[in-house]
Amino acid sequence: MNGTPSNPQQDFADAQALEARGDLAGAEAGYRRLLAAMPGQPVLLARLALLRKAAGAFSEAEGLLRRAIAAAPQEAALHNNLGNVLRNLGRPGDAEASYRKALALQPIYGEAAYNLGVVLEDMKRSDEALDAYRGALELGHARAAVRVRIGAILMQQGSAENALAEIDTAVAADPQAFDAHYYRGLALAQLERSEEAVAALQQAAALRPSSLEAMHSLANNLRATDRHAEALDVYWRMIDLAPFEVTTHNNLNQLAWTTGRRDAFLTSFAYVRDRQGDDPSLMVAEAQLRIQRNDADGAEPLLRKALQVTPERADANAMLGRLLAGRSAFGESYERFEVAVRSDPAAGVFRNEFGYALLKGNEARAALAQFEAARQLNRDDQLALGGLCLAHRALGDSRYAELFDIERFVRVYPLRVPAGFADARAFNNALAEELLKLHTATAEPLDQTLRGGTQTPGLLFLRRLKAVEQVREQIAEAVADYVAAMPAHADHPLLSRKQEAWSFTHSWSCKLRSSGFHTNHVHPMGWISSAYYVSLPDALADHAQRQGWLKFGESHLGLGDDDRPEHFVRPEVGYLVLFPSYFWHGTVPFESAADRLTIAFDVVPGRVDPRTIMAGPY
């Protein structure tokens, strides 16, 4: 029979001492014995709730805290602790209410103000979170973590200088704070102070050697400073920490390829396989890289082995289906795509790939159904629209001419020359000088469309380079004109997206050398796409051979006599070509000792931060 302990104060002190020594099981048992005799005691309920929270028993912790609050409703700390538990339970709205209750009871409660900021960030309410964090500072809650979070939000808002000032204060306050060094590295990287970013991220990685995030950012900045061998070493460390992380394998092998390290290419997969055995996700990732390098024979056994383990896996089935369609083995190809679509019916990408395989097999009507199904999932799906164009053309459908109206939608603009330059060639010479310094790779990226050249990493239009900023300004004028000229049309996939506001998303520079070209493609993540000509070989002036010219209307599928270029644009230095992202386009190879240097970008409707757009294949 439970009775009141003879010395509850001593028993409570003993339980606290056990907790302080790390004997959490002993402390929990002590609190429970006391609660059996005093079931409504709020301090005991709160202590036990914190232990249960630490053990991951969040629902039980919530119940204990609500009992404590019922006994002591004016105790602000109980509401703050309940907010923490509710956040762990994935109920940010309820957590916000608890933090606000704590602050209403105790307006000078800096910790509750900080926690309120954290949960507001969780809910993407960054302006309110910033106010909450600043309020926490005013209340004397001047922990380094508060300034780090302020800095992180300022970075998201594009104010990297102010972010760095906040984070520098955090580093000074707590030199051992991992987050402070990590976010300092990110802020410096955003300011393009990459060498300093490397130093900050190296410090972060030293403080927390298991942080994949810190090492990922460190590798990115080592790449930005052309320290490619060191970046590869960081990726190898990441693979030792997390051997099945596909993104790390992809980054390592992409870097090995583009920097000419063929000795390292694909070796990470064998390294893990020898130590950990086969993993379906890694087999699929390796197969994808092999397909991108035209090694279908090496990819097929990997995909088949992965499917022995996970036969319904959508991406593996679709990849094998695509490979088989390339060999005209359409029967099994279609079966594989049917499995992929059945396994992941919400993924438009598999329907699109199925549609392209059907087109290749001369099943245009069935392909049309797949593209239309993909558009049911996402009406702005550019891959689906590109497929619709090909299907309509194959079927002789008049809708092809409406969708693929080259005369209306391909427009060429001579850009205004910025002040201080004699002519377009003088400006573009200055622009070329900046761009060429960014082309540090030796080969094209594996997942891009150029062959025989290089492409700049990252988002070109976010770089703090004078000529790049100037050309971006001139380009923006042309894009604004292109958008303004669009007529209203609620049902047209290009025109129906028209808005006064628009944003650049992906932006990059391509440098093609002799024999280089772009394979035929569409831009899956755009609305309006482009080509701007910075520097060109003399061979491109030849109207007979059209070397290096931009071509429209030909797909990458080789669909026969109808699948030929319908329109060409001769590149000229200082000229910009704009067109819908779903338009099939590529370039004609050229022969010259001089390189072909361009800028390309995508535009989407509305105000969008390009850093939030996921990378995608072009």
Strand ordering across the sheet containing 550-552: 567-569, 550-552, 585-587
Task: Pick out the chain residues at pLDDT < 50.
Answer: 1, 615-618
Query: d(Cα 437, Cα 440) in Å, to the nearest integer?
Result: 7
Q: Where in the chain is the domain with CATH 1.25.40.10?
A: 257-408
Query: d(Cα 224, Cα 234) in Å, to the nearest integer?
Result: 14
Direct distance between the N- and C-terminal alpha carbons of the chain, in angstroms, rounded to an integer: 74
Per-residue pLDDT reduced to its tens digit, 332-366: 999 999 999 999 999 999 999 999 999 999 999 99
Sign of CA dihedral 466, 471, 474, 480: negative
Q: Where in the chain is the domain with CATH 2.60.120.620?
A: 415-612
Q: What is the pLDDT of residue 7?
A: 84
Query: d(Cα 350, Cα 352) in Å, to the nearest integer?
Result: 5
Structural tokens at position 21: 């020594």
Q: State the pTM of this model.
A: 0.89
What's domain 257-408's architecture? Alpha Horseshoe (1.25)
410 and 579 Cβ atoms separated by less than 8 Å: yes
Q: What is the pLDDT of residue 2?
A: 52
144 and 171 Cβ atoms separated by less than 8 Å: yes
525 and 613 Cβ atoms separated by less than 8 Å: yes
Q: What is the pLDDT of residue 4?
A: 65
Q: What is the pLDDT of residue 3?
A: 58
Domain at 415-612, CATH homologous superfamily: q2cbj1_9rhob like domain (2.60.120.620)
Query: d(Cα 524, Cα 527) in Å, to the nearest integer?
Result: 9
Residues in the chain, overall count:
618
- Only one residue has tokens 């770089």, namely 463
Query: d(Cα 243, Cα 398) in Å, to the nearest integer?
Result: 52
